[in-house]
Amino acid sequence: MGLPVLSIVAFAIAIIVSCVSQINVGFLSMAFAFIIGVLFGGMRATDVAAGFPASLFLILVGVTLFFSQASVNGTLDKVAKLSVKLARGNVGAIPVIFFFLATALASIGAGNIATTALLAPVAMTVAGNLRISAFLMTVCVCCGANAGALSPFAPTGVIANGLLGRIGITNQEWPVFFNNFVAEGFVGLAGYFLLGGYKLFSRHASQTAVRLDEALVETEGPFEWNQKLTLALIAAMMVSVAVFKIDVGMAAITAAAIMTLCRAADEEQAVKTMPWNVILMVCGVTVLISILEKKGGMDLFTSILARFSTQTSVTGVMGFVTGLISVYSSSSGVVLPAFMPTIPGLIREIGGGNPMDIASSVNVGAHLVDVSPLSTLGALCIANAAVSEDRKSLFNKLMIWGLSMSVIGALVCWVFFGLL
């Protein structure tokens, strides 16, 4: 078996393992990389280790540490709970507000998983109190969180832009965010209408329901000094990155250091709540991808994708394949590191194409399916559903929705990034 085939077999095994087990595929990928590179490829261990994305690792650590601090000191939770007041009595507006609140929190740096973890308890409780469909609320919260997931300040956006930078696509942070936001917003809005959200505008919350929702925020006093500092640092970080083009990782690490020096958050607790599992997964898979690139496996993988693609259909094909794999695997930890590096070769194989259109298809296809109960986002909403909710029924509905999104995602990607 040649090295290109051997490397792609190892890559396929890593993807399959990520789909069917709880093993961190990052560790497995690094082990495969060293076995293939050193034992079969004649490389030195230091050459294999050179594939570790040190810059991406530092950015992820900085961003996730700062927003873990913002979560630990209660800032993000207070923002979420106080936002419930925005739609008191207007039942139809509540899922919409949670969509945009999720988008905002994810966009400023909390990311889609942390945002859903923050909002799901509040959103699903409100849905139960006001007899809003838990299915509808889950779609709105998850689509909203994913709509902000590709922000330059969010962990997934950092991952996507870092991977694009490795293939020569730079300074596209805002187009990456905007393309994903439009696609997720379109699907979220369509879901809102298909699931009857517009009918809720004819209802007004009962006084009992209003009192139940007030109970969620009655203990929320004014922002404390450390929370005000956190909000100020978030604003400063966003301005420094968007206006002054400061590296987002360095800006986040600086903000985290200020928080630590001012004792504005429990640093030890913040470090423990960081998503180390995803960080190590992304970095480990990237090491294996570097071996594929050096030993010809990436060319072989790209050729396989090209057999099913044309210049016209490539966006739809990538949206479908990434969506199908992402139903069972990590979007940011496995799918993006696996498919982003194929873009230059794929364009070469099919004779042309727009790299940003294909990259957007990978991003959108991988994230539209994350409403599935097999994903962290869907699972968080099910876990926080009201006691009166039939969770088995909700699981089944979300499973059907998630799987269907691989097909819908393909169509959305083909239309938005192909035809249009």
Residue 378 near residue 140, CB atoms below 8 Å: no
Give the residue, 33 or 79, on which the prediction is more confident.
33
Residues 375-392 have pLDDT tens digits of 889 988 998 888 788 888
Determine the average pLDDT of the residues in 40-58.
91
Predicted local distance difference test score (pLDDT) of residue 347: 94
Residue 144 near residue 103, CB atoms below 8 Å: yes
User: In terms of Cα–Cα distance, which of 264, 330, 307 is closest to 19?
Assistant: 330
Long-range pairs, 215-220, Cβ under 8 A, ≥24: 216/81, 216/84, 216/122, 216/125, 216/126, 217/81, 217/82, 217/84, 217/85, 220/78, 220/81, 220/82
CA 182-187-190 angle, to 5 degrees, is 120
Predicted local distance difference test score (pLDDT) of residue 357: 95
Q: Is 371 exposed, middle or buried (0-12, 13-18, 19+ CB in 10 A)?
A: buried
Residue 118 predicted with pLDDT over 90? no
3-class SS shares of the chain: helix, strand, coil, % to 5 = 80, 0, 20
pTM of the model as a whole:
0.84
The pLDDT-based confidence of 31 (bands split at 50, 70, 90) is very high
Residues in Cβ contact with 42 at an 8 Å cutoff, skipping those fewer than 6 apart: none
Residues 156-193 have pLDDT tens digits of 999 999 999 999 999 999 999 999 999 999 999 999 99
Predicted local distance difference test score (pLDDT) of residue 131: 81
Residue 368 predicted with pLDDT over 90? yes
Q: How far apart are CA 322 and CA 362, in angstroms?
A: 6
Beta bridge partners of 204: 90
Predicted local distance difference test score (pLDDT) of residue 218: 57
Residue 136 near residue 380, CB atoms below 8 Å: no
Determine the average pLDDT of the residues in 287-312.
89
Beta bridge partners of 90: 204
Helices 75-82 and 111-129 pack at an angle, to 10 degrees, of: 40
Q: Is the dihedral of CA 275, 281, 282, 287 positive or negative?
A: positive
Residue 63 predicted with pLDDT over 80? yes
Give the domain ranges of the chain. Answer: 3-419
Residue 346 near residue 307, CB atoms below 8 Å: no
Residue 34 predicted with pLDDT over 90? yes
Task: Please give the mean pLDDT across all residues of the chain.
Answer: 88
